[in-house]
Amino acid sequence: MSNSPARRRVRFPGISSRAWEHPAHRSALVALRALPGFDTLLKTMDGLFRGRKQRLMFLASAVRVGERQFPELDRLLTDAVLTLDAQERPELYVLQSPEVNAVSIGMQQPFIVLTTGLLDLMEHEELRVVIGHELGHVLSGHAVYQTMLGHLLRVAGNFGWLPVGGWSLRALIAALYEWSRKSELSGDRAGLLVSQDPHASIRVMMKIAGGAGLAQMDTVAFMEQAAEYESTGDARDSLAKLMNVELQTHPFSVMRAGQIRSWVDHGEYKAILSGKYPLRVDDPQASVTDQVKAAARSYRDNLTTSKDPLTQKVVGATRNLGGAAQNAGQNVASALATLWRQANQGGTDIDGSADEGPAGAPRP
């Protein structure tokens, strides 16, 4: 890892995670946070067993970052915590693995894990982006919602044969996969707020896509790929794109780079840098309906500006998408509330113990 010259970065006192959460993702989080007892029960279950088990596993098999171990990473984490004004500092571990990977794990006592494969690939400022991305996951409480996705997948496996309920559940799971992908875009925005270097954020995506040969890649050409992916082909390609991402928890790296650039170009990033951002003290008053409307606007804007052939053909028939999406969001929130109550009344196992893998973001 190479050090870059120190420069002063803007800090965001009292910032809410809503500042970096993608609109389509934020609406789901606000709705889920509104479910009575949801966060509390899942965090309690995590603290009783699963989270403890995972932390002990990494405590015994990885290296805990601190002033005496990987001190440069320790400084990067400290800076990220100060920049996003995190109220608690998560632990950070380095795990020996050739896989390029970063994860945020746990709910009651969250921590971050970076692999040595990632450290070998990323430079100093790129690691700042990755740590900021994972800290964004932690502050948004994504492990809680990933646990719910795992729970719903198990429910689908047990009851997916139901002719009506099964399809409804599948639709809900598809929505959660979509929110999972949007949560990665949220993490990317948090990484940018920590690094305050859009070029570093895009380099991370280039390396995830193409490996260590950054000298043989070109940023402009890489961004042109995103534009080509959006606009090329016919309706068959449009359907193929939908099929490619249907069960993906992460968007593709090229598209993530395009989303980072779009967030900067549209002015939202610069507005936050100037001090215009929501505060976490106002989180309890956040309106589910307002967030769903923001999500609807986001999807509507994407439809209006998209160059995808199939999207262009249907955009004329979806002019009132805002209202439809608002109703759909409210219906999803209602379905989540019903499922949550049924799970509590029926004593369904919700601790996520069937999934022994780390919760949170499977990739940086």
Place of tokens 């999972």: 180
Q: How far is CA 336 from the centre of its chain?
A: 20
Find out whether 93 and 58 touch, Cβ atoms under 8 Å: yes
Q: What share of the chain is helix, strand, coil (3-state, %, to 5)?
A: 65, 5, 30
Find out whether 127 and 76 touch, Cβ atoms under 8 Å: yes
Distance (Å, whole) CA 352 – CA 143 = 10
20: pLDDT strictly greater than 90 = yes
Distance (Å, whole) CA 205 – CA 253 = 5
Q: What is the pLDDT of residue 86?
A: 96
Q: What is the mean pLDDT of the chain?
A: 76
Of the given ranges (14-28, 150-164, 198-212, 333-347), which has the lowest mean pLDDT? Answer: 333-347
Instruction: Please tell me what DSSP assigns to residue 279.
Output: B
Q: What is the pLDDT of residue 106?
A: 79
Residue 262's Cβ-count burial label (10 Å; 0-12, 13-18, 19+) is: middle
73: pLDDT strictly greater than 70 = yes
Q: What is the pLDDT of residue 34?
A: 62
Chain segment 242-270, per-residue pLDDT in tens: 788 777 878 999 999 999 999 999 999 99
Neighbours of 61 (CB within 10 A): 10
- At residue 122, φ and ψ (nearest 5 deg) are -100, 145
Place of tokens 């991305």: 133
- At residue 110, φ and ψ (nearest 5 deg) are -70, 150
Conformational region of residue 360, where left means phi above 0, alpha means psi within -120 to 50, and beta covers everything else: left
276: pLDDT strictly greater than 80 = yes
Encode burial over 81-118: b for 16+ CB neighbours within 10 A, e otherwise: bebbebeeebbbbbbeeeebbbbbbbbbbbbbbbbbeb
Q: What is the pLDDT of residue 354?
A: 34
**Identity of residue 48:** L
Q: What is the pLDDT of residue 168?
A: 61
Q: What is the pLDDT of residue 264?
A: 96
197: pLDDT strictly greater than 90 = yes
Find out whether 77 and 65 touch, Cβ atoms under 8 Å: yes
Predicted confidence band at 344 (pLDDT cuts at 50, 70, 90)? low
pTM here?
A: 0.77
Q: Select from 188, 194, 101, 180 the least CA-distant residue to 147.
A: 180
Of the given ranges (28-42, 102-116, 143-157, 196-210), which has the lowest mean pLDDT? Answer: 28-42
**Which DSSP string corresponds to 56-117?**
HHHHHHSEE-SSSSSHHHHHHHHHHHHHTT-SSPPEEEEE--SS--EEEE-SSS-EEEEEHH
Place of tokens 């009575």: 36
Q: Who has greater pLDDT, 347 or 8?
A: 8
Alpha helices in 266-287 (DSSP H): 268-273
Find out whether 111 and 91 touch, Cβ atoms under 8 Å: yes
- At residue 348, φ and ψ (nearest 5 deg) are -65, 140
Q: Who has greater pLDDT, 147 or 307?
A: 147
* pLDDT over 90 percentage in the chain: 44
Encode burial over 19-39: b for 16+ CB neighbours within 10 A, e otherwise: bbbbbbbbbbbbbbbebeebe
Chain segment 279-329, per-residue pLDDT in tens: 999 888 765 555 555 555 554 555 445 454 544 444 443 334 344 444 444
67: pLDDT strictly greater than 90 = yes
Q: What is the pLDDT of residue 243?
A: 80
For the segment 335-341, the average pLDDT, to the nearest whole number, is 53
Instruction: Give me 275's structure tokens.
Output: 């001090």
- At residue 105, φ and ψ (nearest 5 deg) are -130, 145
Q: Is the dihedral of CA 312, 23, 288, 151 positive or negative?
A: positive
